[in-house]
Amino acid sequence: DVKVTQSSRYLVKRTGEKVFLECVQDMDHENMFWYRQDPGLGLRLIYFSYDVKMKEKGDIPEGYSVSREKKERFSLILESASTNQTSMYLCASSLLGRGGETQYFGPGTRLLVL
């Protein structure tokens, strides 16, 4: 079974802090994704990566950056956390290619920025 793990289930941070959200997948998947989920807005794509050291912006990249130094690990970075970044963050991975493959999701990290 594919397993996607996220470093924390719940996080509480202060405005202005630098926040790291970590995601690890154990199935040698090429593609990894970060989404955020908000009530009334649904899931929205923040960043994605099709290969190591490669990243592409999604629909809402402002205020975020990412790092993919190793194939299995994809980190989302909030450079200076703000209250409007309070949300549920979901990481996903898929085997390879642009489309055509099932995306597998982690359990999510619920982030509260005070």
Partner 1 sequence: KQEVTQIPAALSVPEGENLVLNCSFTDSAIYNLQWFRQDPGKGLTSLLLIQSSQREQTSGRLNASLDKSSGRSTLYIAASQPGDSATYLCAVWGTEYSGGGADGLTFGKGTHLIIQP
104 sits near partner 1 (criterion: CB under 8 A): yes
Q: Which two tokens stand for residue 30?
A: 């090429």
Chain mean position to CA 91 = 4
Is 39 or 69 the residue whose CB approaches partner 1 more closely? 39
Residues 42 to 71 in contact with partner 1, rule: CB under 8 A: 42-45, 48, 56-59
113: helix, strand or coil? strand
104: helix, strand or coil? strand
Which amino acid would we find at residue 2?
V
CB 18 → partner 1: shortest distance, Å?
A: 25
Out of 23, 33, 85, 113, the only residue in the binding site for partner 1 (CB under 8 A) is 33
Cα→Cα distances 18→12, 46, 64, 81, 105, Å: 12, 17, 10, 6, 24
CB 16 → partner 1: shortest distance, Å?
A: 27
CB 100 → partner 1: shortest distance, Å?
A: 5
* Binding residues vs partner 1 (CB under 8 A): 4, 33, 35, 40-45, 48, 56-59, 90, 92, 98-108, 110
